[in-house]
Structure 1
Amino acid sequence: MSAVATLEYYTLDDYRHWKGDWELIHGVPLAMSPSPGVEHQRVARRFQRQFDEAFDQCPQCEVFYDIDVEFSADTVTRPDVLVVCNPLDGDRITRAPTLIAEVVSPNTARRDEQSKFQLYRDEGVSYYLLLYPKQAKAKVYRLVDGDYRKVGDFHRERCSIELPECEVDVDFARLWT
């Protein structure tokens, strides 16, 4: 029997009954443990705060952290930070956010750089940012014609993120200090 034939397949209904922290990508459960460390939380909070401050002037966009995104009946992720620039339907996020940022650790690097990169691209997430606290570095990708194009690598520089209704000037130096 092949390894593929023995893989179990789960759905959003299964996911909603699990205890602990999980993500579900194309029916495959992925544990989210151990929980994020202090530096991970600091970087995510500082990133989220820049968008939160910018959105005081933009009533269309909203920033969230550590919330499930239900992409389909077999795919749910919990990005570190995400931005939604359209009205929400109910209490769950069920459409692709405009922006997703993941804080990358050694435990999550492969998932963030490969699986989620492909997933978010295929789902139409306009911006995908990978934040690396240990290197004080960020990689910014923008969706262009259905594929991610790298905007650049940032350490202490600024980067303008053009959202549908507003623009956010991200100061990466503020994340690492």
Structure 2
Amino acid sequence: MLRFAVSLRFILLIASLGTAVGALVMFWEGTGRMINAIYAVTLGHDPKGAIAQVMGGTDSFLFGIVLVIFAFNIAFGFVFSLSKAEKQGLPAWMRPSGMHELKTTLVGVILVYLIVDFATDWAESNFADSWVMLVKPISILLIAGTYRLLAMPEPGDAKEP
């Protein structure tokens, strides 16, 4: 029974591959946004639009990088068993310390995404003085508070001096 349960960890490869495909999609989207920004600048369109495209493209690249890190962490942290020597050969970002680290990384990336998304919306919008524009920043503050709580060490993780 234990052998069967342990073999189920290979199902996580589906999640790892799906995450890697998501990273490719984000890199594709980021490239498209950067190309749109280049067109906007070379054709003399509104510079705010080009700035928004660059911000959105950079955000897409950042999210793609995080998805690559997640894909490797899922594969090498939960699916494949590596020896200590093999683990030492991997870069530090490919050696997850646990699920808590992955969760806090994901929430941090969502925060950055929301901040860039708000800045992009603000740069593109004509209703910057409306109270509706305050909804997203308030949400960002609430998520940042949650992130702060998540980033605190878990009770069993306290290190002794």
TM-score (norm 2): 0.27
TM-score (norm 1): 0.26
Greater RCO, CA 8 A, separation 6+:
2
| Structure with bigger gyration radius | 2
Higher normalized helix content (fraction of residues): 2
